[in-house]
Amino acid sequence: GDESALRRLGRASLRVKKQADVGFDVVVNFLRRRGLLARRDDFATALTSLADVRLWAEGLHLLWSMGPPVAEPDLIAFTAAMRCFGGKQWPIALSILMLMSGRGFDPDVVAYNCGLAACGSGGQWQLVLALFFMMAERNLSPDVVTYNTVVSAC
């Protein structure tokens, strides 16, 4: 459907970007002109594709390019963007998690799991535990992913 076509086009555009060293703005503008970044769901799908190939800088750029007149970032877009960050980029994922609350969104278990994974892959086990306890304070029920991530980090 539209989602798989958007993913294929997004991946193809990223290959073109890498090969031709074209600025990411050109890719985003290309997708917008083709109507492929017309809805909030389109951004979430594109962010997920960027996360799949660990293009964190492009994911952050795309997240910040969201806004009127197309779509403001929502919980799904923020969470999809967080998936781009791990290892040395864990502070960005953690910042996005905190930004969600500042923008009026209540991060859910999936968002916390993304933050846990980013901090865990960056060797920040203390932050993993802090986020785990923060989930309890917010009455969020951990799932299997949560427990596996916490155990792996510690």
Please report the pLDDT score of residue 127 as a whole number: 94
Please report the pLDDT score of residue 57 as a whole number: 74
Please report the pLDDT score of residue 70 as a whole number: 59
SS3 71: strand
Taking only the tens of pLDDT, the chain with its 154 residues reads 545 555 555 565 555 545 444 456 666 666 666 666 666 677 777 777 777 766 777 777 777 777 665 567 788 888 888 887 777 788 888 888 888 888 888 999 999 999 999 999 999 999 999 999 999 999 999 999 999 999 999 8
Please report the pLDDT score of residue 123 as a whole number: 93
CB proximity list for 59: less than 8 A, separation 6 or greater: 47, 50, 51, 80, 81, 83, 84, 85
Token output for 59: 């994911």
Own/partner long-range contacts of 7-16 (Cβ < 8 Å, ≥24 apart): 7/45, 7/48, 7/49, 9/34, 9/36, 10/45, 10/46, 10/49, 10/50, 11/49, 11/53, 14/49, 14/50, 14/53, 14/55, 14/58
**From CA 57, how far away is CA 114, in angstroms rounded?**
17
The residue to which tokens 């029920």 are assigned: 141
**From CA 127, how far away is CA 130, in angstroms rounded?**
5
Please report the pLDDT score of residue 146 as a whole number: 95
Give the max Cα distance, the chain: 48
